[in-house]
Amino acid sequence: MNFRSGRKQIESVFIFCDAPSETLLSNDNIIDGGLLPLSEKELSFKCESTGEHDDSLVSSSFNAEASTYCSNSKGEKFAGSNRAEALRDEILKQEELYLSKLTTEDENPTQEGKHEDCSPYTKLISKDLKPFQSGITKDMIDEASARGILYQVLGGKLYRKRECNFPNRCSGIEHFLVEIAKSLPDTEFIVNISDWPQIPAWSRAVIPVFSFSKTSDYADITYPAWTFWEGGPAISICPKGIGRWDLIRKSLISTSKKIKWNKKQAVAFFRGSRTSNERDPLILLSRKNPHLVDAQYTKNQAWKSDRDTLNAPAAAEVSFEGHCAYKYLFNYRGVAASFRFKHLFLCNSLVFHVGEDWTEFFYPALIPWIHYVPVEKSAKEEDLRFLIQFFQANDDISSRIAARGYDFIVRNLKLSHVFCYWRELLSSYTKYVTYNVQKRGDVIPIS
């Protein structure tokens, strides 16, 4: 028996202030001698026998005590390779496929200066704007205005509706918009600066609203989050909140060069507040297996007692640089997509990304098993243990995935790429605006 890929590519923070310083297969998957159908969002394997075979695709959500089984066309079950071997084979195949598609330019992935454009991300712009191909009218903007902040570009200058409930968030995006406005035609658009997207995908109304994060259940237009400059969550060791991606990049790149792969602790690491119970299994695994995982909950603004940190004292916060001492770093969503994600890659550690629902503008360009390890959001303690132990035992694979994730973010996620994405997004968006934009009476100039 062998395994062939049936893969479909799938698509949370810590801190930085204003200066340097967030199954395979189990018996449950086998029904009536057949196999459960594959979820679109799951990594998959195709099982086949040397004789007749079942072409069903098998879910890869990990189940702790499972052997791998396939079913032939007669419904007979038979044992195959164990899941660790199957996972290793699958990752190696994905690596081979990825490497075969690299261009000559991509063969030197650690060289900065390449890909200063934002081409790895522009497919998302086309996808997000597709509903507006018939045009964006003034009535649409008026209807959308209750869902966010109105911005206008007039004569190369930026204007904004006077009220902004989160001034630092507005400032965080205006750092980019003021500069980009100089090269844009007159236009206006609505920016949602809350955490939650605004436009359900099932809504009959086609309303253009920009949001920093969303799931496939929403039709908002994705823009780069304010935290690339300022306005991120404030915690005790960074009271002004996360920001200045340019500075944290330099600090983390410097730190990662000082802590080589073979000097990192072969332990999984996580620090963050309990914004979702999806994080509980890793915390509980850590309490039972501290040699395998160091994962603890920290306080957030809603913390009142140890009950808010899963019945244990709140742990101290740890800087991004402190994360770099560990080989395996876990990323979970927060209320929406986590601002932590991009920072973890710059430790040159292996990133475990839990859940693929919530995305930011750069997520679709990252490839699971190539740049990071995808983990189901429903993963249990035994699933997490299996994955961590697998990558401990396969250090060669771990270091390669970590290096590719690091290289991708180093090369393709600088502030210049954020400027580029905003420029491409607004230039493309404005092509669909069907009316002459006039200055509204309640806007103020932003400089």
Q: Which residue has the tokens 């799951």?
A: 42
Candidates 106, 117, 186, 195; catalytic one: 195
CB 220 within 8 A of CB 124: no
For the chain, domains (ranges, CATH) are 2-11+23-100 (no CATH), 122-225+419-446 (no CATH), 245-359+363-412 (3.40.50.2000)
The answer, yes or no, to whether residue 81 has pLDDT greater than 80, is: no
Q: Which of 225-229, 317-321, 370-374, 436-440 has the lowest mean pLDDT?
A: 317-321
Helix residue ranges, H only, 101-239? 122-129, 138-144, 167-181
As a whole number, mean pLDDT of residues 154-176 equals: 96
Q: How far apart are CA 178 and CA 182, in angstroms?
A: 7
Q: pLDDT-based confidence at 103, cuts 50/70/90? A: low
Model confidence over 217-251: pLDDT tens digits? 999 999 999 999 998 877 666 777 788 999 999 99
Distance, CA of 242 to CA of 234 (rounded, Å): 7
Distance of CA 133 to the CA centre of its chain: 28
Mean pLDDT calculated for residue range 332-348: 91
In angstroms, the CA 242 to CA 340 distance is 10
Letter string b/e over residues 88-125, b meaning 16 or more CB atoms within 10 A of that residue's CB: bbbbeebbeeeeeeeeeeeeebeeeeebeebebbbebb
Q: Model confidence over 317-331: pLDDT tens digits?
A: 889 999 999 999 999
pLDDT of residue 276: 82
Q: How many CB atoms lie within 10 A of CB 410?
A: 20
**DSSP classification of residue 146:** G
Residue with tokens 């502030």: 415
For residue 231, give both structure tokens. Answer: 């306005």
Our answer to whether residue 142 is catalytic in this structure is no
Burial of 133 (0-12, 13-18, 19+ CB in 10 A): exposed
Q: Over the stretch 286-303, which tens digit does the pLDDT of each residue have?
A: 999 999 999 998 877 666
Neighbours of 1 (CB within 10 A): 16
C-beta neighbour count of 79 within 10 angstroms: 10
| Planar angle of CA 389, 394, 398, nearest 5 degrees | 95
Res. 188 pLDDT band, cuts 50 70 90: very high
H-assigned helices in 53-166? 83-100, 122-129, 138-144
Does residue 70 surpass a pLDDT of 50?
Answer: no
